[in-house]
Structure 1
Amino acid sequence: MTELSLGEFEFDCGESVPDLTVAYEEYGEFTGDNAVLVCHALTGSQHVAGRRRRGDTAGQAAAWWDDIVGPGKAIDTNEYYVVCANVPGSCYGSSGPPSEAPDGEPWGTRFPAVTVGDWTRAQRRLLDELGVPNLHAVVGGSVGGMNALDWAKQHPDGVERVVAVATGARLDAQCLALEAIARRAITTDPDWDGGDYYPGDGPVQGLALARQVGHVMYLSKSSMEKKFGRRSAGMDAARDAFELDPAAGFFPYREVESYLDYNGERFAERFDANSYLYLTRAMDSYDLAGGYDSDADALAAFDGEALVLSFTGDWHFTVEQGEALAEAVREGAGRVAHHVVESDHGHDAFLVEPESVGPPLDDFLADGVRGRAVSDTVEEADTGDDFAPVHTSLFSR
Structure 2
Amino acid sequence: MENKPTSITLQNFTTESGAFYASLNLSFHVFGPALNTAPIVLVNHALTGNSQVIGSNGWWNILIGENKTINTNKYTVLAFNVPGNGYDDVLIENYLDFNTRDVARIFLEGIEFLKIQQLYAIIGGSVGGGIAWEMVALEPKITQHLIPIATDWKSTDWLIANCYLQEQILKNSRKPIEDARIHAMLCYRTPESFKAKFQRTTNEEQAIFNVESWLNHHGAKLQKRFQLSAYKMMNQLLKTIDITRNNSSFEEIISKIEANIHIIGIDSDLFFTVNENRETFEELKKLNKNVSYGEINSIHGHDAFLIEYKQLDNLLKDIF
TM-score band, normalised by shorter chain: over 0.9
Between 291-300 and 344-353, report the one with greater CA deviation: 291-300
Per-residue displacement from partner, 1:100-140 (whole Å, max 9, x unpaired)?
xxxxxxxx34x662111111111111112212111111001
Corresponding residue number in structure 1 for 2:47? 42
Secondary structure at the counterpart of residue 45 of structure 1: coil
- Give the Å deviation of 1:314: 1.1
2:193 pairs with 209, 223, 230, which one? 223
Distance 2:203 2:181 in 1: 20
- Give the Å deviation of 1:69: 1.1
Find out whether 1:261 has 2:238 as its counterpart. Answer: no
Between 341-350 and 311-320, report the one with greater CA deviation: 311-320
Distance 1:173 1:78 in 2: 42
Q: Which runs of 4+ in 1 moved over 4 A?
A: none
- Give the Å deviation of 1:362: 2.5
Find out whether 1:129 has 2:113 as its counterpart. Answer: yes
- Give the Å deviation of 1:179: 2.0
Secondary structure at the counterpart of residue 257 of structure 2: coil
Distance 1:81 1:333 in 2: 31
Distance 1:112 1:314 in 2: 27
Gap change, CA 1:268 and 1:305, over 3 Å in 2: same
Equivalent AA in structure 2 for residue 16 of structure 1: F
Between 30-39 and 310-319, report the one with greater CA deviation: 30-39
Distance 1:94 1:260 in 2: 27
Aligned counterparts, 1:1-397, within 5 A: 1-29=5-33, 30-31=35-36, 34-51=39-56, 62-93=57-88, 95-97=90-92, 108-109=93-94, 113-189=97-173, 205-234=175-204, 236-237=205-206, 253-292=208-247, 294-332=249-287, 334-365=289-320
Q: Which structure has the highest strand share of the two?
A: 2
User: Would you say the 8 A contact 1:87–1:94 is kept in 2?
Assistant: no
Give 1 or 2 for the bigger CA radius of gyration: 1
- Give the Å deviation of 1:167: 0.8
Per-residue displacement from partner, 1:343-374 (whole Å, max 9, x unpaired)?
11110000011111123213123xxxxxxxxx
Identity of aligned residues (%): 25
Corresponding residue number in structure 2 for 1:376? none
Equivalent AA in structure 2 for residue 158 of structure 1: I
Q: Give TM-score, length-normalised by structure 2.
A: 0.92
Per-residue displacement from partner, 1:55-114 (whole Å, max 9, x unpaired)?
xxxxxxx211011111111111111111000012311117432xxxxxxxxxx34x6621
Per-residue displacement from partner, 1:236-260 (whole Å, max 9, x unpaired)?
33xxxxxxxxxxxxxx511111111
- Give the Å deviation of 1:293: 5.1
User: Would you say the 8 A contact 2:163–2:238 is kept in 1?
Assistant: no
Equivalent AA in structure 2 for residue 15 of structure 1: A
- Extract unaligned runs of 5+ from structure 1: 52-61, 98-107, 190-202, 238-251, 366-397
Distance 1:230 1:155 in 2: 49
Distance 1:291 1:177 in 2: 21
Higher relative contact order (CA 8 A, sep 6+): 2
How many residue pairs match? The answer is 315
Corresponding residue number in structure 2 for 1:104? none
Equivalent AA in structure 1 for residue 29 of structure 2: E
Secondary structure at the counterpart of residue 7 of structure 2: strand
Equivalent AA in structure 1 for residue 147 of structure 2: V
Secondary structure at the counterpart of residue 18 of structure 1: strand
Corresponding residue number in structure 2 for 1:102? none
Between 29-38 and 81-90, report the one with greater CA deviation: 29-38
RMSD: 1.8
- Extract unaligned runs of 5+ from structure 2: none
Secondary structure at the counterpart of residue 144 of structure 2: strand
Corresponding residue number in structure 2 for 1:387? none
Corresponding residue number in structure 2 for 1:105? none
